[in-house]
């Protein structure tokens, strides 16, 4: 794994989906909830309102609702993984080796099939391309050995609800069940109708690192947020409308003293007034959807 000053998080995520909300409905804030200790900075809610107003009913929101955007890890580990610490380290660092042949695919496209009957056809990766998405470590250390693969499917939670998607099922040496990886890339994200809050983050407005999960009932959202070594960690406010859930990240009680320059990541959970459903989950600082996807290995900050 590439050297880094930060430790990343590997999580399996889940999202509870609800019925679709029309893009043209009146925007109606449902209220806000503050998470974390310390004095809440001013200005976070005004920025969140501007982001919500820009997105709600926009072309970007319509494009987002019609696309394929995973809201869970696109990798599913074998049952009872992992058998030892070395294999776990190999997975967290994404260090894979290949011993054997990978099959060719006779399909260039794959279909995302949602539970409500909707579907979307997208370009599909072959087994070798998909394995390359998994194998990120160019160094030494323990590795998981892939001995073969076959094309199958996996269940995945998306921004439009649960779906069945094409996946490559990789056989791993020493495991009876496969490691699955989605064979599709997400749809291209639409251009945001609003720019970032500033050229660089501040303690009062801080970008979120990535989406982690929601609760089973969809009434809380957990994200990964960055912070420094001399503060009390990150926090987040939320502004809900009919079309969006806007999260505003900020830093609790920052210190002006001497601190190391490393960036730490901590999970922040925000309670919602209503299930997130198919509302667009937005980062107030960037003005864009909260990042998601194939989570890299590592552990969160324990502070």
Question: Helix/strand/coil (H, E, C) string of 10-42?
Answer: CCCCCCCCCCCCCCCCCCCCCEEEEECCCCCCC
The answer to whether the CB of 220 falls within 8 A of the CB of 276 is no
Beta bridge partners of 265: 226
The answer to whether the CB of 229 falls within 8 A of the CB of 7 is no
Q: Kindly state the tokens that stand for 183.
A: 């064979």
55: helix, strand or coil: helix
- pLDDT value of position 296: 37
Q: Kindly state the tokens that stand for 270.
A: 């925000």
pLDDT in tens, 273-298: 998 888 999 999 999 999 875 543 33
Strands (E), the chain: 31-35, 75-76, 96-98, 109-114, 119-123, 144-158, 161-172, 179-182, 208-214, 220-227, 234-240, 244-251, 264-271, 280-283, 288-289
Q: What is the pTM of this model?
A: 0.73
- pLDDT value of position 250: 84
Which position has the token pair 């901590």? 266
Apex 187 CA angle, 183 and 193, nearest 5: 160
- pLDDT value of position 258: 57
Where does 17-149 have alpha helices with state H?
44-55, 59-66, 85-92, 127-134
pLDDT in tens, 239-269: 999 999 999 988 876 666 556 556 677 888 9
Per-residue pLDDT of the chain (303 residues; tens, 9 = 90+): 333 322 222 222 222 222 222 333 333 333 333 343 334 555 678 899 999 999 999 999 999 989 998 887 889 999 989 999 999 999 989 999 999 899 988 889 999 999 889 999 999 999 999 999 999 876 788 999 999 999 999 998 888 888 999 999 999 999 999 999 999 999 988 999 999 998 887 778 888 988 888 787 888 989 888 765 566 678 889 999 999 999 998 887 666 655 655 667 788 899 999 988 889 999 999 999 998 755 433 333 333
Cα dihedral: 60, 65, 67, 69 (round 10) = 100
Q: Which residue ranges make up each domain of the chain?
A: 31-67+189-289, 75-182
- pLDDT value of position 253: 65
Candidates 95, 46, 38, 50; CA nearest to 254 is 38
- pLDDT value of position 198: 87
Q: Which residues contact 116 (CB under 8 A, 6 or more apart)?
A: 161
């Amino acid at each position: 794994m590439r050297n880094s000053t930060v430790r990343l998080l590997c999580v399996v995520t889940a999202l509870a989906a609800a019925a679709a909300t029309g893009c043209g409905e009146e925007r109606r804030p449902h209220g806000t909830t503050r998470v974390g200790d310390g004095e809440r900075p001013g200005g976070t809610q005004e920025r969140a309102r501007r982001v919500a107003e820009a997105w709600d009913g926009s072309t970007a929101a319509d494009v987002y609702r019609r696309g394929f955007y995973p809201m869970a890890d696109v990798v599913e580990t074998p049952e009872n993984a992992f058998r030892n610490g070395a294999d776990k380290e190999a997975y967290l660092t994404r260090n894979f080796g290949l011993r054997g042949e990978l099959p060719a695919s006779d399909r260039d496209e794959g279909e995302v099939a949602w539970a409500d009957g909707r579907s979307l056809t997208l370009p599909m990766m072959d087994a070798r391309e998909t394995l390359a998405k998994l194998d990120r470590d160019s160094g030494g250390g323990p590795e998981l050995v892939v001995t073969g693969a076959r094309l199958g499917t996996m269940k995945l939670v998306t921004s439009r609800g649960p779906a069945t998607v094409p996946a490559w099922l990789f056989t791993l040496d020493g495991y009876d069940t496969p490691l699955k990886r989605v064979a599709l890339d997400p749809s291209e994200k639409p251009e945001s109708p609003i720019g970032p809050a500033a050229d660089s983050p501040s303690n009062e407005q801080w970008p979120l690192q990535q989406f982690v999960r929601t609760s089973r009932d969809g009434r809380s959202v957990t994200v990964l947020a960055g912070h420094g070594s001399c503060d009390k960690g990150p926090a987040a406010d939320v502004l809900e409308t009919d079309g969006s859930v806007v999260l505003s990240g900020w830093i609790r009680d920052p210190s002006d003293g001497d601190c190391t320059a490393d960036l730490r990541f901590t999970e922040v959970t925000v309670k919602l007034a209503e299930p997130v459903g198919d509302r667009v989950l937005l980062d107030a600082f960037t003005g864009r959807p909260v990042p998601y996807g194939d989570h890299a290995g590592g552990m969160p900050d324990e502070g």
